[in-house]
Structure formats: C-alpha cells, structure tokens
Amino acid sequence: MPVTEPAPAPEIPTVPGTPTTNVSAPIPEAPIAHLCLGGETIYLTAKMQNVVLNPDANTLYKLVPTSKLVSLCLSANNDALIYRYGEENSIELESVATADAPFKTYHNQVGRVGEDYFSFTRGNYQYVVVESSGMGNGVSLSVYQGDTKIVDKFSGNTMDEDFYQSYLSIPENLLEVSEPASVRVE
C-alpha cells in the first residue's frame, strides 16, 4: 500500500501588508461590535448612522441607524493601521496604512473639542474618519467623490454604546501629518 504525504496545512489568512495579522489569534474585546481581526488591537470602532440634515424646519439633523461599522485596527506588530467598513462578519472596504503608504492625519482643536482626522484616497474617492473628543465625542465618516460629499455618517455621542476609543498611540510612521487643505475640515 503506497504511503501518501499529508496535505499541507492551510495558510493562515493575513491582511495585505500586515503579515502579523493572524485570524486564529484571540479576537480583541470591546463593549461594542468591531471589524478588527485576531491579533489586532482596536484603535476605534463605531456604529455608523446616516446623517440627515434639516429633516424638518425645527430639526438641524437626524441620525438614522444602520448596520454598518467603521473600525481602525492596529496590527499585532504595530506595522499597519487598518481601516475597515462594513457589517459585522462582512467587510465591504479595507485600506491599510503602512510606513510606505501612511494615512494622512490632522489634529484640529476648536474650543474644547479635539478632532483627529484620518484619511486615504482610492481613485477619485477620499475617505475621512474623524475622531472627536473633549466636549464633542463621537466618530464621523465622510466619503467624497471629487469635491462632492457622497457619504455623511456619525456614530452618536455615547462612548461604549455608539463608539469605542482605546486612546492608544499610533506609530508615527503610519501617519503623514497633512495640512488642512488636503484633509477635509468642515
């Protein structure tokens, strides 16, 4: 009877550009749902709600819940910052910042509200995540096609219910400080 070689072990899937992301590692914990994979650390995650501006004469804006999430995850070796958007167990868009291709960032302080902007571009689309702190908590997501805003989402203001921030430090080589003109400040 011939001896057969055992089949090679399947490769562990990895995030492009992050050879240390191991989906068999423990999934990080947070008080709300997130899109980070095993071995990654949650920088922030948020439940995204559609922003409807001026829904009636007496209302400035209204938030409409969706099943979408946005997460920024730090790889196990801190060599990548990963943006993910989608539903729990269904990632629709992923972008990876590395030392060779960092996300753009900008910090804006308006009174007692701090805003940290993270952005990247894909083709004619610019994706902007804004992490607000101080007296204005929450996470915003805007997508621009050229100069036109086509997506406007916000988490809501309640930490550990609408959004979660870990307040970790992101390695500087994963971010490129950008002037406000190239990171949309509204």
Dist. CA 66–CA 152, nearest whole Å: 12
Topology annotation, domain 41-182: Lipocalin (2.40.128)
pLDDT tens, residue order, the chain (186 aa): 444 444 433 333 334 433 344 444 556 778 999 999 988 999 999 999 999 999 999 999 999 999 999 999 999 999 999 999 999 989 999 999 999 999 999 998 888 888 899 999 999 999 999 999 877 899 999 999 999 999 999 999 999 999 999 988 999 999 999 865 545 544
Domain regions of the chain by residue span: 41-182
Residues forming beta bridges with residue 47, ordered by sequence position: 69
| CA 118 – CA 110 distance, rounded (Å) | 17
Counting beta carbons within 10 angstroms of the beta carbon of residue 48, is it exposed (0 to 12), middle (13 to 18) or buried (19 or more)?
Answer: buried
Cα gap 44→41, rounded to integer Å = 9
Only one residue has tokens 């400035």, namely: 60
Q: Is 180 helix (H, G, I), strand (E, B) or coil?
A: helix
| pTM for this model (two decimals) | 0.81
